[in-house]
Structure 1
Amino acid sequence: MASVPAVLSSEWTKIRTVSSTVWTLISAFVVTVAMSAALCALMNSQFDDLPVAERATFDPTLISFSGMVLGQLAMVVFGVLVVGTEYSSGMIRTSLAAVPQRGSFLFSKIAVAGVLALVVGIATSFVSFFLGQALLGDHHTDIGADNVLRAVVGGGLYMGLIGIFSMGVATMLRSS
């Protein structure tokens, strides 16, 4: 019977040594930050051309997270890859032979990948926000404004939880 720390360690090794999972997390970060930065820079340059009603309802926090539209897709792919490749490659038989308690095995897999997804999601959210606000120039807000910190943390949690949700769906379907 394998101990929980040993199973957590083996799952950490699996995730960090499979290049596709690492590159998918890097892609989620880069795509989200780059798209958010580009849209913030574009909005700053075009702000004076907006109609009065749109200028009055402009939300600088929301535009900072516009890159999450594509970044979340990379997080979904990460979650599916973490679980689905084990089933598609047949490695699941070896993993369950080493850890016969399916609950312990799945908990460890989702805990390690989930923490990693949450860390990347929070980092992505904060970097997107601060870079976006820097690019918005005079139209920016700060982290201390009403509900902004909550939105930034919530954006990061969303990115992480979408990865965890994808792991759950891939586990139920037992397929990529």
Structure 2
Amino acid sequence: MAATQVLQSEWTKIRSVRSTVWTLSLALVVTLALGALISIVSKASFDDMSTRDQVTFDPTYVSFAGMGLGQLAMIVFGVLVVSTEYSTGMIRTSLAAVPQRATFLFSKIAVASALAFAVGMVTSFGAFFLGQALLGDHRAQIGDPGVLRAVFGGGLYMGLIAMFSMGVAAMLRSPMLSLGILMPFFFLISNILGNVDATRKVGQYLPDQAGSKVMQVISPPDDTAPYGPWGGLGVMALWVAAALIGGCLVLRRRDA
């Protein structure tokens, strides 16, 4: 089967599975809603903040407060895109139609990633403009130094989260196992390692903590990361590459 036919086939699969469409929609809605809520609260409480907090207030990053829950939906999307065929047994039919396993996997990831990045960009720009409108006098402008980079980086971050999840799901081949590892990793282990002094130097190299730095315009006072915004995104990209390579190796060496 030609590469273009494989891509078209994967696009049809994604569109036909309602759960994948719903998870992307949820990522958009949750991120905008929570970001808007935190922006309203931040505006109302700004005058009560300490001088230090006012000086380091990052209105751009505040509007991305919903990214944490939004990435949850992106994780679910990435896992479902890859692992659903394993759970239903359709993987055997797919590999019979496309015996070149690397072509099959990366065609699936290419189509799903393009969709994830598109939704990620809409989500990031939407969260920014909505959040800034609600912040009033404390808002940032898209043309301010570092702001466009942060907003664009937010879209990249969302897409990379989905890609990382696809790679992990390709290695584990089970939606329950994949989600059972990814959810605690991002929402428990990463936070613990990043907030405990003894493990902070390790935590700052985890994909979500490194990647999220690209969304910051003003670094927090306790930031000790040895990389900048794009460097952090680069660290995240290395995690994604490792996960995808691992998924490809597992697919090529194991039976369906």
Specify the alignment match of 2:154 in structure 1.
155
Specify the alignment match of 1:24 in structure 2.
23
Aligned-CA RMSD value? 0.7
Specify the alignment match of 2:116 in structure 1.
117
Deviation at 1:49, TM superposition (A): 1.6
Specify the alignment match of 2:34 in structure 1.
35
The farther-off stretch of 46-55 and 107-116 is 46-55
Q: Aligned runs of 1:139-150 on 2, under 5 Å?
A: 139-150=138-149
Specify the alignment match of 1:103 in structure 2.
102
Specify the alignment match of 1:90 in structure 2.
89
State the one-letter code of the partner of 1:121.
G
Superposed structure 1 runs of 4+ greater than 4 Å apart: none
1:16, 1:130 → 2: CA distance? Answer: 29
**Which protein, 1 or 2, shows the higher relative CO under an 8 Å CA cutoff with sep ≥ 6?**
1
State the one-letter code of the partner of 2:120.
G
1:137 and 2:140 correspond? no
Specify the alignment match of 2:7 in structure 1.
8
Specify the alignment match of 1:58 in structure 2.
57
Give structure 2 stretches of 5+ with no counterpart. 176-256
1:172 and 2:207 correspond? no
Aligned length: 175
Q: Deviations over 1:53-94 (max 9, x none)?
A: 211211101101111011001100000000011111111001
Q: Deviations over 1:133-157 (max 9, x none)?
A: 0000000010111111111111110
Specify the alignment match of 1:71 in structure 2.
70
1:49, 1:90 → 2: CA distance? Answer: 57
State the one-letter code of the partner of 2:43.
N
What TM-score, normalized to structure 1? 0.97
